[in-house]
A and B are shown apart, each in its own frame.
Chain A
């Protein structure tokens, strides 16, 4: 056999050389992939190889200022499936049947999800424990032969949370609610979402290409960080008072478009209560609170239905106190007063004349009292809410200054309040702000503001000239009660001097004691305030907003409140007639609850009810001693030596100067008939009752004057035979109030 020739050997070597070159090139290629493309490829590889599972963080609790829980998250479960595992296990039918029946879902929808081309599908969120346990039962099911089998291969239960609102509809518009992913959707749940939600944790696990976990391969657990707990400035009790009285007022005065009320600590800006009526149940925020509207929507279909539902639900969620704008009307006169005093264009005793209207340029603008108030001082002008007085004062302030103060009082900007959706309306453009606009603006018409803006502006009057920023949050605390952050009082700016503020407060207090706001009077609590009645646009449709803004105590205010009744359709709609009495009920509850010390004036003490001394069993000779400092008079009937009975009984409260009838023997010959006083003036009522030998008690403790109020009810009723000295309780209603 031949040998290999030299050329062949060379060629063999050159084949080798070629192979080596190619191999070196391939080594280079590997190097390139591993070190140049490597980092990028690694990231993409890890992305596909790992499963990132989010662990929900616990959402923070929302407390009221006293630690009552307003919102809280509870542990529930989430049911998910891995459709690929379901496909491998071939149990889709069984799983679809079981899950749809336990969870109350549509079987076809579940079945469809089980056949998705994915490795993770959520079947239902926020599943309560009993349902979760039922599913778990099938996961370790003991069959006839005693084996434990997982009938639900590919079905997973994991932790989920659900939000509970223990007080249901209370402060719904303030607290707000969360969506399906526990994200805040409205109220403080939305505006403080970043604090409340915490940081979700993650479990990163290795998975194979079909999506199942690979045991012992790789797992990394990143702890979730729980959300901070939020302490609100809201006081659940005050909120409750407010909502109760709003509901009563809405019913009593046939209010059509809801009501709103804000109660704020005027020194700190803390909102103690903020209510919008009607409220809705936070535990079921997507159900309309008005069955009539729901029925109307149910009758619709398709897109129209969706549109109408969205409208209605948005309306239901609106926080009227912050989001809705309105014409403040006469409640704005306090601000105009402060402007005028600060600009020194009016003195408290300056004289004005009201003929019932005032000619402003081409227009004659009327006063609410068509006959006019005649000659009156500035203070009386405020007390009587006289429009011509304010138009005159407005023109003295001038458009430039009026606009300057309008902005300074914050009506052209958001208050910076920490609830979502705060509105700001444009004021008249400066070039269009002429005498007519100025005249109407000075008594609170022709522009719109939010209730919260008005309260914030008035905080300057309460607070010696400095406006305070309203706020809803007091502090953030962790689960161990440590304070993470305290929300401090923020002052917006000083708008007027302390003197102007004090004078304005005095005037506004006299509006309550002497003027149109008498229905808000509470003895001892020095309420100051202003009523407002504004006709809604378009004018002439008979729709009004009745409102009252007040604060107390007038000399050093602690709380300020604004009440708005939107579209009262009852017999009365004026702010003084319906808003002031409701406001009084709210403030009476709130001031007493807050333990504000009453400060009685001398006149109040004079008109205050005094306890009747008990003299039964005493000798007649000692009676004068017993009555010495009582502030009450007495009359002895009979000539016995000892008092055997008295009318009224000891301990009864009577207005000072009333007469207690004392009997030395049992008799009924002194019984008298109760006169009819309904419709009578105060003087007439007093005369009739006193003449009958009876005592009068005016309910509501108001110091009523003639010509302003008439007796509305009396007890006992007319014609009743009662012993002399019996107390007749008479309730007076103010007439002619603005």
Chain B
């Protein structure tokens, strides 16, 4: 396979060639995701935007950009990030602070975007990768330090700084994902189980504390326990999601045949796209999604284990855990298995920044596959 040489021969890294299985799974997920974004968004696009293709056009453009990005990152040698890890993190911290200033674009009471009009992006998406890269480098360099309480805490401070800035937007789910990814990297890098256990206990206490101080989180929490109790209020989305999933049966109502997407399920192309998959393609379609992700994660884990060095191993483990955590949180939320929080389903949920950055991340993993010791 010959990729066009966009970056010039001297700067591109082709190594031993990419892992095509991994690439295939990514392409399958992307294609599946685009089909579902179109199907799920058509109704609300028609009613709200007056253009059935409104969302799919934007998502399609982002997918193309993302694919280009994936190629570009697949030919950039992963070791370059090792050098740029700290400045990258610094830039991200600045961006995350900027989001909190009046420069941030506020939507629905949360200031998560930077940019102008249609050209906006979420620094928190970038922050996930900046943190993964930074931790991979930092732990590669200071592996032994992690076993000491001080080192463990130092890493937690860095994770906490990034997650905290995201939380301030406020973007609870983003912060959760960042913290989750950070902890997984610490675990893989060899953090003491005692430290992790203490952290887990503190985390649970902290989570309940956060729920307790913010009424809207409390409402979401009680809603999760019985969404039907407040069907017209807090429970609305979850109930609509359950209606969609429950209507699917084994093979679903057929592609495009969702009824819940007709303005019942708010923004069905976003966080609740999995519900529409369940409704239209049934249990079979849902299983296919989960199996594809499982294969992707399995291939990713394999790559992490066979990675040429600790840095790349941690890098891949971090990126794969980012995918895994988001998949788990998203599906758990839409199936009312945990309190509602807005986590997109990678490759599926509508959202340009998330898709482009996720594909770029896949590019990084692909680059690592070029250096796997056979």
Interface residues of chain A, those whose CB is within 8 Å of chain B, are 1-5, 7-9, 11-13, 15-16, 19-20, 22-23, 26-27, 29-31, 33-35, 37-42, 44-46, 48-49, 206, 208-210, 214, 217-218
B188: contacting residue among A12, A27, A34, A38, CB under 8 A:
A12
In the complex, given contacts A23-B294, A210-B47, what are 8 additional A-B residue pairs having Cβ atoms less than 8 angstroms apart?
A3-B308, A4-B309, A12-B304, A23-B293, A34-B245, A38-B247, A45-B259, A206-B262
B324 touches A11 (CB 8 A): no
* Cβ distance B354 to chain A, nearest Cβ, rounded Å: 20
Is B331 part of the binding interface, using a Cβ–Cβ cutoff of 8 Å? yes
Q: Which residues of the other chain, B, contact A35 by a CB distance below 8 angstroms?
A: 249-250, 283
CA–CA, A40 to B308, complex, Å?
53
Chain B stretch 267-316: residues in CB contact (< 8 A) with chain A:
278, 282-283, 286-287, 290, 293-294, 297-298, 301, 304-305, 307-311, 313-314
- A459–chain B nearest beta-carbon distance, Å: 63
The listed residue (B259, B263, B278) touching A30 by CB distance below 8 A is B278
Nearest chain A CB to B88 CB, angstrom units:
18
Inter-chain contact A8/B188, CB cutoff 8 Å: yes
- Contact yes or no, A41 B263, CB < 8 A: no
For residue B140, CB closer than 8 A to chain A, the reply is: yes
Q: Which residues of A contact B308 (CB under 8 A)?
A: 1, 3
* Contacts A13-B305, A208-B43 given; does A30 touch B143 at CB 8 Å: no
Q: Decide: A8 near B283, CB < 8 A? Known: A30-B335, A208-B264.
A: no
Collect the chain A residues with CB atoms within 8 Å of residue B297's CB. Answer: 16, 19-20
Measured in the bound complex, the distance between the Cα atoms of B139 and A5 in whole Å is: 12
Residues of B close to A31: CB separation below 8 A = 283
A29 to B332, CA, bound (A): 9
B246:A23 contact, CB within 8 angstroms: no
Residues from chain B with a CB closer than 8 A to the CB of A48 are: 243, 264
Q: For window 310-328 of chain B, which residues contact chain A by CB distance below 8 Å?
A: 310-311, 313-314, 317, 321, 324, 327-328
Question: B260 within 8 Å of A by Cβ?
Answer: yes
SS class, residues of chain B in contact with chain A: helix
B47 touches A208 (CB 8 A): yes
- Bound complex: CA A371 to CA B90 (Å): 131
Question: How far in angstroms is the closest Cβ of chain B from A585?
Answer: 70
Q: How far is the CB of A367 from chain B (nearest CB, A)?
A: 81
Contact between A33 and B190, CB atoms less than 8 A apart:
no
Residue in B43, B79, B247, B317 whose beta carbon sits within 8 Å of that of A12 in the complex: B317
Are B262 and A4 in touch, CB under 8 angstroms?
no
CB distance from B135 to the nearest CB of A (A): 13
| Interface size class of chain B, counting residues whose CB lies under 8 Å from the partner chain | 35 or more
Report the separation of the CA atoms of residues A209 and B48 in the bound assembly, to the nearest whole angstrom: 12
What are 17 A-B pairs with beta-carbon distances under 8 A? A4-B307, A4-B314, A5-B190, A8-B310, A12-B305, A15-B187, A16-B301, A26-B331, A29-B332, A30-B245, A33-B245, A34-B246, A35-B250, A38-B247, A42-B243, A42-B246, A49-B264
Cross-chain contact B43 with A1 (CB below 8 angstroms): no
**A30 contacts B246, C-beta separation under 8 Å:** no
Bound Cα distance A206, B245 (Å): 18
Q: How far is the CA of A5 from the CA of B293 in the complex (A)?
A: 26
Say whether A15 contacts B188, CB under 8 Å: yes
Partner of A2, one of B143, B331, B337: B143
CA gap between A206 and B286 in the complex, in Å: 25
Q: What's the Cα separation between A2 and B259 when bound, in Å?
A: 54
Q: Which residues of chain A have C-beta atoms less than 8 A from B310's C-beta?
A: 1-5, 8
* CB closest residue in chain B, given A31: B283
B351 at the interface (CB under 8 A from A): no
Q: Could you say which of A2, A5, A8, A214 has the most chain B C-beta atoms within 10 Å of its C-beta?
A: A8
A2/B190 in contact, CB under 8 A:
no
Closest B residue to A42 by beta carbon equals B247
- CB-CB < 8 A to B249: which residues of A? 34-35, 38, 42
Say whether, besides A4-B310, A8-B190, A19 and B324 are in contact (CB < 8 Å). Answer: yes
Can you name the residue of chain B whose Cβ is closest to the Cβ of A206?
B259
Contacts of A4 in B (CB 8 A): 304-305, 307, 309-310, 313-314
Q: Are A208 and B263 in contact (CB under 8 A)?
A: yes
Checking A3, A12, A20, A45 against B309 with a beta-carbon cut-off of 8 angstroms, the contacting residue is A3
A33 near B242 with CB under 8 A, answer: yes
Instruction: Please name the 3 residue pairs, one residue from A and one from B, whose CB atoms are nearest each other, closest first.
Output: A41-B246, A208-B262, A209-B263
Task: Give, as a whole number of angstroms, the nearest-CB distance from A4 to chain B.
Answer: 4
Chain A residues with CB below 8 A from B314, complex form? 4, 8
What's the Cα separation between A38 and B286 when bound, in Å? 15
B184 CB–A CB distance under 8 Å: yes
> Closest CB-CB distance, A555 to chain B, in whole Å?
77
Docked pose: A623 CA to B140 CA in angstroms: 156
Task: Give the CA-CA distance A206 to B331 in the complex, in Å.
Answer: 28
Nearest Cβ in chain A — how far from B256, in angstroms? 11
Q: Does B244 contact A (CB under 8 A)?
A: yes
The interface residues of chain A lying within 8 Å CB-to-CB of B190 are: 5, 7-8, 11
Q: Quick check: B328 and A26 within 8 Å, CB to CB?
A: yes
Residues of B within 8 A of A7 (CB): 190
Query: A29 and B337: CB pair below 8 A?
Result: yes
Q: In the bound complex, how far is the Cα of B247 from the Cα of A34, in angstroms? A: 7
Contact B290 A15 (CB under 8 A): no
Which chain B residues lie closer than 8 Å to A45 at the CB level?
243-244, 246-247, 259-260
Contacts of B332 in A (CB 8 A): 26, 29
Given A35-B283, A209-B262, residue A13 in contact with residue B246 (CB < 8 A): no
Residues of chain A within 8 A (CB-CB) of B45 are: none
CB distance from A206 to the nearest CB of B (A): 6
Q: CA of A143 to CA of B260 in the docked complex: distance in angstroms?
A: 38
Residues of A within 8 A of B328 (CB): 19, 22-23, 26
Q: In the complex, A8→B315 CA distance in Å?
A: 13
Closest residue of A by beta carbon distance from B188: A11
| B262 pairs with A41, CB closer than 8 A | no
Q: Which residues of A contact B357 (CB under 8 A)?
A: none
Interface centre among A13, A33, A218 (most CB of B within 10 A): A33
Give the complex CA separation of A49 and B294 in angstroms.
34
A3-B310, A12-B305, A49-B259 known; A209 and B247 CB under 8 Å? no
Chain A residues with CB under 8 A of B304: 4, 12
CB nearest neighbor in A for B244: A45
B123 at interface by CB-CB < 8 Å: no
Whole-angstrom CA separation of A49 from B247 in the bound complex:
12
Does B361 belong to the interface (CB within 8 Å)? no
Is the beta-carbon distance between B283 and A30 smaller than 8 angstroms? yes
A15 to B185, CA, bound (A): 10
User: Which residues of chain A have C-beta atoms less than 8 A from B262's C-beta?
Assistant: 49, 206, 208-209, 214, 217
On chain B, the residues within 8 Å of A2 by CB distance are 140, 143, 309-311
CA distance A38 to B249 in the complex (A): 7
* CB-CB nearest in chain B for A2: B310
Q: Distance in Å from the Cβ of B269 to the closest Cβ of chain A?
A: 16
Kindly state the separation between the CA atoms of A581 and B43 in the bound complex, as whole angstroms: 81
Q: Are B311 and A1 in contact (CB under 8 A)?
A: yes
List chain A residues, Cβ under 8 A from B189.
8
Give the docked Cα–Cα distance between A218 and B258 (Å): 12
Chain A residues near B260 (CB, 8 Å)?
Answer: 45, 49
Q: Give min CB distance, B7 to chain A, whole Å.
A: 23
A31→B284 CA distance, assembly (Å): 10
Which residues of chain B from 324 to 355 have a CB within 8 Å of any chain A CB?
324, 327-328, 331-332, 335, 337
List chain B residues, Cβ under 8 A from A37. Answer: 242, 246
A26→B246 contact, CB < 8 A: no
What is the CB-to-nearest-CB distance from A210 to chain B, in angstroms, rounded to a whole number? 6
Q: How far is the CB of A319 from chain B (nearest CB, A)?
A: 49
B residues within 8 A CB of A34?
A: 245-246, 248-250, 278, 282-283, 286
Provide the bound-state CA to CA distance between A35 and B247, in Å: 9
Closest A-chain residue to B325, C-beta based? A19
